[in-house]
Amino acid sequence: MAVTADAKLDVQRIRADFPYLEELSNGKPVAFLDSAASTQKPRQVLDALHDFYSHRYANVHRGVYRLAERATEGYEGAREKVRAFVNAPSTREVVFVRSATEGLNLVAYAWGLENLGPGDVVVITELEHHSNFVPWQFVANRTGASFRHIPIDDAGELQLDALDEIAASGKVKVVANNLVSNSLGTINPVEKLAAWAHEQGAIMVVDAAQAAPHRPIDVQALGCDFLALSSHKLCGPSGVGALWGKAELLEQMSPFNLGGEMIRSVALDRTSWNELPYKFEAGTPAIAEAYGFGVAIDYLSEIGLDAIERHEHELTEYALGKLSELDFVRVFGPPVERRAGIVSFDVTGIHPHDVAQILDWEGVAVRAGHHCTQPLMARLGVAATTRASFYLYTIPEEIDRLVEGLHKVKQHLG
């Protein structure tokens, strides 16, 4: 499917790649508006998994026989695809993990526990997903470092004027931030934060789980030190993700998990570690899933991340316009210029669970809850929100159905 960089997506053709989108939900065509939680999977990925498990599957790396070599080729080929996808300098810096969450935990444990102490400051943000919040809070508590957050304004954007006060409070060692907020869709100024972090002598850790599926990622342009992403949010299988980290940092760090594969040699009295990235890949990895991750990257790259980003931008603009016409709906988050394809809102007086339940009967799948961002919910003054999120297969008609569904919600429960 060759698409030039400026072309619009052929969304109907893309939709035909996704088996689930052909199904009915409750007798109605499904409007899947929960891609921020996890995306549907295209046939290309599903077929590749079937093929890999059927004809190329064996354990990786040490097998001498042909099949094991083919499996290793598939697995290591996927590593190269991830490297290119985030524009990392070397595959040595690309570690396969279970998920973005595990990648962030790896950094918090393997870097944080050894490099933080009293007087040091760990900086996160008020709109962080728990996966880039709780590990740092835990490690700060463990090491005696202080734990500070960058606040947001009422539109859900980071208030960078708080940085001076944070810098004055101690020695800033880590800044951790998501590139795109999973709850509000805010696109965060990670380049600026990375530059500030480095001025402080700190490392910059980026959670790109919500950004990587939707826009081109370039770790060198971002200027960060670590970046984590998940396969399942970008049309790939669940159970695998990747952590990119600068080689010089990864080399200084102790392993996170210990066991097979991550060793160079083991004796009764001592063990030495394997080279990068294998030092961080103990145990049999998610081999076929990593391969499928690479196939998903190919799929998205062929369509073009720029085109996907533009498509989502148009959908978001459309959704914000439609929702602003509803006087019983309050939308959270920044203006469309600084927002990815995520719209979180409150239906006045009606709990998000009830909203999502009634929408489900209309075949519209949205998420209701705190979206693993409880500090953000507290800041917004709500227990939960309803969230609609868009992807390359989303069409404006699905947003119309969301709006129609919200009228029904209002009619029944308002």
Partner 1 sequence: MSEFDQLYREVILDHYKNPRSHGLLEAADAQAEGQNPLCGDEVTVSLRFEGETIAEVGFEGRGCAISQAATSMLTEIVVGRSAEEIARMPKEELLEEIGIPLTPVRLKCALLGLGVLKVALHKSKGTPLPDEWTQGDDLTIS
Contact residues toward partner 1 (CB under 8 A) are: 26, 350-354, 357-358, 361, 368-370, 374, 377, 382-384, 412-413
The minimum distance between CB 408 and partner 1, in angstroms, equals 8
Closest CA to 210 of 78, 126, 309, 143: 309
C-alpha angle 356-357-359 in degrees, rounded to nearest 5? 65
Q: Which is nearer to partner 1, 366 or 377 (by Cβ)?
A: 377
How many whole angstroms separate alpha carbon 141 and alpha carbon 330?
37
Q: Which is nearer to partner 1, 149 or 371 (by Cβ)?
A: 371
Amino acid at 264: R
Tokens of 327: 């006087």
Q: Buried (b) or exposed (e) across 263-272, using 16+ Cβ within 10 A?
A: beeeeeeeee
The minimum distance between CB 411 and partner 1, in angstroms, equals 10
Whether 372 is catalytic is yes
User: Hey, how many other C-beta atoms are within 10 angstroms of the C-beta on 337?
Assistant: 8
Q: Please report, for residues 28, 204, 234, 241, 395, the alpha-carbon distance to residue 23 in angstroms, rounded to integers and kept in the order given.
A: 8, 43, 21, 28, 16
Catalytic residue among 107, 134, 372, 388: 372
- Give the H or E element holding residue 251: helix 247-252
Q: Which is nearer to partner 1, 163 or 384 (by Cβ)?
A: 384
The minimum distance between CB 356 and partner 1, in angstroms, equals 9
Catalytic positions, written as ranges: 372
